Amino acid sequence: MAETVEYEVVTQAGAGRDAGSGEPVLMSARASEGGLDAAAAAARRLVDALVRLGDSTDYDTDALATRINAIAAEVEDALPDEAARLVEMWQQEGPNRHDLVTGPQNPIAPPLVVHGQPDGSVEASTTLPIAYQGQPRMAHGGISALLLDHTLGMANGWAGRGGMTARLTLNFKRPVPLGEPITIRAKQESVDGRKLYTQGVLSVDGEPCVTAEALFIAGHLPRPTAD
């Protein structure tokens, strides 16, 4: 029997759209210089170094693995209860610090920095390191899909009504280079009941590399609660 899923009706006013100010508004979480944000940034740096290291080195990678495992064990010893952590993750309004794409506390987030624009669109930017490589020196297409899906989702939030991706259509026009600033622009184009139609483009140096069209269905899975 199919499970019934209740969706939250979310009008993401927390996105804080402020078209009146005429200034872009930061929608992603701003990274702090210390604390967990700094630890996640260090982990990102380590991942990048590992991918660039390769096997043709005299560096003692066995000893390295031992040291990294020791650090992981130390952090695991300090972990809070998982259910409580999930509640904490989702209780905040606005941008999530643990977010897979924009989160300063998530080491696998590039992270993407997103601004809501006065014209109702959002603009996002990042530079991808070699860990995201697909073809030589180019980003994996799945990473472009992730960044576009997420930015389109944030464009819905900026427009005032967010949802879940039901259909995402991508057009890969040219490869996305690693190590160069990329820009993603996205906008909710129309709404038909719960159906949100959103478009975006990932560009490098002003050249469109990947375009996206998506159908989102308004609503979100309920946030975890303590009981």
Ligand X SMILES: CCCCCCCCCCCC(=O)SCCNC(=O)CCNC(=O)[C@H](O)C(C)(C)COP(=O)(O)OP(=O)(O)OC[C@H]1O[C@@H](n2cnc3c(N)ncnc32)[C@H](O)[C@@H]1OP(=O)(O)O
Name residues contacting ligand X, limited to 147-166 (CB under 6 A): 149-150, 153-154, 157, 162, 164-166
Shortest Cβ distance from residue 154 to ligand X (Å)?
5
Shortest Cβ distance from residue 188 to ligand X (Å)?
12
Q: Nearest-CB residue to ligand X? A: 153
Shortest Cβ distance from residue 18 to ligand X (Å)?
13
Task: Give the integer Cα–Cα distance in Å for 203 and 175.
Answer: 10
Q: Please identify which residue in 41, 47, 138, 217 interacts with ligand X, judged by CB under 6 A.
A: 217
Task: Give the integer Cα–Cα distance in Å for 116 and 31.
Answer: 18
With DSSP H G I counted as helix, E B as strand and the rest as coil, what are the percentages for the chain, rounded to 5? 35, 25, 40
Shortest Cβ distance from residue 56 to ligand X (Å)?
39
The reply on whether position 167 binds ligand X by CB under 6 A is yes
Backbone phi, psi, residue 171, to 5°: -130, 105
Task: Give the integer Cα–Cα distance in Å for 124 and 16.
Answer: 16
Query: By the 8 A CB rule, do 194 and 218 touch?
Result: yes
Shortest Cβ distance from residue 201 to ligand X (Å)?
17
Name residues contacting ligand X, limited to 15-44 (CB under 6 A): 15, 27
* Number of amino acids touching ligand X (CB under 6 A): 19
The reply on whether position 105 binds ligand X by CB under 6 A is no
* 37 vs 149 by CB, closer to ligand X: 149
Q: Concatenated DSSP letters for 83-150? A: HHHHHHHHHSSSS-TT-TTT-TT-TT----EEEE-TTS-EEEEEE--GGGBSSTTBB-HHHHHHHHHH
**Contact positions vs ligand X (CB under 6 A):** 7, 12, 15, 27, 149-150, 153-154, 157, 162, 164-167, 194-195, 215, 217, 219
